[in-house]
Amino acid sequence: AGANPIQLVVKHINENVSGFDKDLKRSKALKQLETITLKCLSKEMDDRYASVTALKEDLEKVKEGKPIPKYVLANRAKATITRGQAFAFSALAVGLLFLVGYYSSWLHNESQSIIYLFMLVIFGPGFLFLIRSGLSKYRSIRADNNGARQWWLMIMALSAGFAGLCNAPFLAGMILFGGVYDFPSSYRHFSMYTSVLHIPLLLSLVSSGICYFLFKARRASVLYISARLILTMFGVLWFINAVNPKLTSLFASQINDAITGERHLGHRNHAEFKPDFIVDSAKTMAAKGDYVRAINTLELALNSKVFAGNRFDYFLTLATFNSDLGNYKKALAYLIQVDLETLSDHDAESYLMEKARCLHGLGKLTEARDALKNYRLDVRYNPLHNKAQLDMREVLILCSEGKYNSAKKNLDIVVANDLYPGEAVLLRAILEEQTGNLEKARLDYKSIVYGSLWRESPGNLDKNSFLRIAYAMKRLGEGKEYSALENKFKKTEKIASLTDLKNVLGLVDDAVQLKIDDSPLSEAK
DSSP of 439-479? HHHHHHHHHHHHT--TTT-GGG--HHHHHHHHHHHHHHT-H
pLDDT of residue 330 exceeding 90: yes
Higher pLDDT, 328 or 96: 328
Q: What CA–CA distance (Å, rounded) separates 368 from 353?
A: 9
**pLDDT above 90 coverage of the chain, percent:** 13
Tens-place pLDDT, residues 259-314:
655 444 444 444 444 446 788 888 888 887 889 999 998 888 888 766 666 788 88
pLDDT of residue 175 exceeding 90: no
Is 208 among the domain residues?
A: yes
CA nearest neighbour of 520 among 433, 404, 432, 427? 433
Choose one of 77, 95, 111: the last residue of a domain.
77
pLDDT at 140: 82
pLDDT of residue 7 exceeding 80: no
CA nearest neighbour of 176 among 110, 117, 111? 117
pLDDT at 23: 57
Is 390 among the domain residues?
A: no
The type of residue at 312 is: F
Q: What CA–CA distance (Å, rounded) separates 322 from 450?
A: 35
CA nearest neighbour of 518 among 482, 477, 485? 477
Is 495 among the domain residues?
A: yes
Question: Are residues 221 and 285 located together in one domain of the fold?
Answer: no
pLDDT at 269: 44
Is 116 among the domain residues?
A: yes
Question: Are residues 151 and 290 located together in one domain of the fold?
Answer: no
Is 168 among the domain residues?
A: yes
| Residue range(s) defining the domain that contains residue 45 | 5-77
Is 333 among the domain residues?
A: yes
Rounded CA Rg of the chain? 34
Higher pLDDT, 435 or 25: 435
pLDDT of residue 4 exceeding 60: no
pLDDT at 78: 43
The type of residue at 404 is: Y
What do you get for the CA distance between the two ends of the chain, in Å? 89
pLDDT bin (cut points 50, 70, 90) of residue 522 is low
For 178-198, give one letter per residue: b (16+ CB within 10 A) or e: eebeebeeeebbbbbebbbeb
Q: What CA–CA distance (Å, rounded) separates 183 from 168?
A: 14
pLDDT of residue 26 exceeding 70: no
Q: What CA–CA distance (Å, rounded) separates 360 from 253?
A: 34
The type of residue at 304 is: S
Question: Are residues 118 and 227 located together in one domain of the fold?
Answer: yes
Query: How many domains does the chain contain in total?
Result: 4
pLDDT of residue 25 exceeding 90: no
Beta-carbon neighbour count of residue 114 at 10 Å?
Answer: 11
Question: Are residues 187 and 235 located together in one domain of the fold?
Answer: yes
Contacts of 414 (CB under 8 A, 6+ apart): 388, 391, 392, 395, 421, 424
Question: Are residues 239 and 381 located together in one domain of the fold?
Answer: no
pLDDT bin (cut points 50, 70, 90) of residue 227 is very high
Is 392 among the domain residues?
A: no
**pLDDT above 70 coverage of the chain, percent:** 69
Q: Find the CATH number of the domain harbouring 307.
A: 1.25.40.10
What are the two backbone dihedrals, phi and then psi, of residue 416, each rounded to the nearest 5 degrees? -70, -30
Mean pLDDT calculated for residue range 196-210: 87
pLDDT at 506: 86
Tens-place pLDDT, residues 55-107:
888 888 888 888 887 655 444 444 445 566 566 666 666 555 555 544 444 44
Report the predicted TM-score, pTM, of the whole model to 2 decimal places.
0.49
